[in-house]
Amino acid sequence: MNYIVFDVETKNTFSEVESNDPRDLDISVVSVYEKDSDTVKSFLEQDFHEMWPIFERADIIVGYNSEHFDIPLLNKYYSGDLSRFKGVDLMASIKKNLGRRPKLDNVAAGTLGRNKIAEGLNAVEWWKQGKIDQIKKYCEEDVLITKEIFEYALKNKKVLVKDKFSDNVIEVPIDTSEWKKSTDTPKSTKSLF
């Protein structure tokens, strides 16, 4: 199974665009891990033509809050419909049994014993300061954290979430039975690039 794990950083915030719709934001960097090549790469908008084939050859696309945020935003730039690709949104999977949407940082702390290196708002500021390499490093690290959580969940059928109000770690069962199954659902219209 060739899966990819991806994350999107933006140039602006919801308050700056006066909207709660991810499609109203602008992408600064997208980072993608590909299982078959075992590599992580980052892409700026002018490089997206190199990124789309990675999505298109994946059997499954994995993200964190990707159904609600990353996929709608990426679709603004893509010639097809990424929501038709087989995907796993780890946040949605965790929410089913936890009853709330934990931050990636809390899942990383519980499951992997480490925290993220920054927050998404830092990436917006770095964009304004021209610190593109800093955004790439941060985004790639989030991708690797998400990848490790995905692999942990596949193996253990659960994740661990560090409670934000206490130091308790909550075990959250995850149904991964559909994750590895192939799908006959056609992928989006292929990219024109």
Confidence grade of residue 192 (pLDDT, cut at 50, 70, 90): very low
Name the 3-class secondary structure at 67. Answer: helix
For residues 61-72, average pLDDT: 97
Q: Over 60: is that where the pLDDT of 175 sits?
A: yes
What would the mean pLDDT of 48-75 be, rounded to a whole number?
Answer: 97
The tokens describing 179, both together, are 């994750």
Cα separation of 61 and 90, whole Å?
Answer: 11
Angle, helices 104-112 vs 132-156, to 10°: value is 60
Q: What is the pLDDT of residues 44-58, one digit of tens each?
A: 999 999 999 999 999
- C-alpha 125/C-alpha 69 separation (Å) is 19
Domain residue extents for the chain: 3-173
Give the pLDDT band (50/70/90) at residue 181. confident
pLDDT value of position 191:
36
Homologous superfamily of 3-173: Ribonuclease H-like superfamily/Ribonuclease H (3.30.420.10)
The closest alpha carbon to 136, from 127, 148, 146, 149, belongs to: 127
Q: Are 141 and 9 contacting, i.e. CB atoms less than 8 angstroms apart?
A: no
List beta partners, residue 101.
none
Over its C-alpha atoms, the chain yields an Rg (Å, rounded) of 16
DSSP 77-132: T-SS-GGGS-EEEHHHHHHHHHSS---HHHHHHHHHS---SS-HHHHHHHHHTT-H
